[in-house]
Amino acid sequence: MVFMNTSLRVVGLLSAVILLFSPFAFADHAWGSYHWARTANPFTLKMGDNLTSNWDPYLATAAADWSVSTVLDVTVVASGKNAKTCRPTPGRGEVCNAKYGSTGWVGIAQIWVSGSHITQGVVKMNDTYFSKAFYNTPAWKNLVMCQEIGHLFGLNHQDESTTNANLGTCMDYTSNPGANQHPNQHDYDMLETIYAHLDTTTTLQQSSANKPQANAVESDDPREWGREIRRSSDGRASLFERDFGNGEKVFTHVFWADEGVRSLSGRLRE
């Protein structure tokens, strides 16, 4: 695979063309059968807090919102990662914010899987965009934080059009985040479906540390994300997959910045 900006653009164009011929249906609201292995419900997923204090209330809100689910609870735990690299910890999520630069993305969620089981996850919030007037609002911060954390459970978006009516969930893309800051009942129903069965093992963090997954990824570098397997028609949402073989993969959900904000960033960088 050739890692060049031009080839990424070509891949983007090709994806757009392919989408015309094979439109994806998002009705099932999961992007696969991926889930955390656990032996009982409700299970507790820890989120390592690597946030600056201004972001803490948003993580607290998202953790409380998702914990309304009957199948899972989210606990925020202290963590000490370098927020720029935000390396994963086996068996839990890590949540980071930093000025990652004019990357084009506002937020990303990365999920490592082994077979159908999620083993670790990372959420990054890009302050390069959240410091701009357009995204520097509680509503956008709630929406993106809530959505990226939702991806760590195995949820996909409910809708990826920014021009239709809001569905009242953070898993819905929108041009006005006002009504889309929290999960809705459909998200909780979907979680019950994903987590209806129990496993005989767990991929959740145990008292003795889980075996680290070998495949590290410099996660804010798109060249490390692998293949773009899906892009929404207006280009605001992407899903990348990198396949390490033997059932080991990392998925990257990308929340691209509004085109106007993105091109402004490009100009500011020059």
Per-residue HEC secondary structure of 196-242 comes to: CCCCCCCCCCCCCCCCCCCCCCCCCCHHHCCEEEEECCCCCEEEEEE
Nearer to Zn ion (CB atom), residue 147 or residue 219? 147
Question: Contact between 73 and Zn ion (CB under 5 A)?
Answer: no
- Which one-letter DSSP state was computed for residue 247? T
- Cα(first)–Cα(last) distance of the chain, in Å? 28
Least distance CB 115 / Zn ion (angstroms) = 9
Which range of residues in 50-58, 118-126, 142-150, 160-168 is near Zn ion by CB under 5 A? 142-150
Q: Which residues inside 38-67 make contact with Zn ion, applying CB under 5 A?
A: none
Nearer to Zn ion, 26 or 55 (CB): 26
Alpha carbon distances (Å) from 113 to 161, 226, 245: 28, 14, 11
231 binds Zn ion (CB under 5 A): no
Q: Which is nearer to Zn ion, 252 or 265 (CB)?
A: 252
Q: For Zn ion, which is the closer residue by CB, 192 or 199?
A: 199
**244: exposed, middle or buried (C-beta count within 10 Å: 0-12, 13-18, 19+)?**
middle
Chain position whose Cβ is nearest to Zn ion: 199
User: Cα separations (Å) of 120 from 12, 61, 108, 164, 258?
Assistant: 27, 21, 14, 33, 28
Taking the complex as a whole, how short is the minimal distance between the CB of residue 81 and Zn ion, in angstroms?
Answer: 21
* Cβ atoms 187, 150 nearer than 8 A: yes
Confirm or reject binding of residue 253 to Zn ion (CB under 5 A): yes
- The number of residues that bind Zn ion (CB under 5 A) is 3
Nearer to Zn ion, 21 or 94 (CB): 94
**In this structure, what DSSP letter does residue 246 have?**
T
- Residue 6 or 201: which CB sits closer to Zn ion? 201
Residue 234 lies near Zn ion (rule: CB under 5 A): no
Binding mask 2-41 for Zn ion (x = CB under 5 A): ----------------------------------------
Distance of alpha carbon 120 from alpha carbon 113, whole angstroms: 7
Beta bridge partners of 111: 121, 251
Question: Given candidates 12, 90, 184, 199, which one binds Zn ion under the rule CB under 5 A?
Answer: 199
Note the residues at the interface with Zn ion (CB under 5 A).
Answer: 147, 199, 253
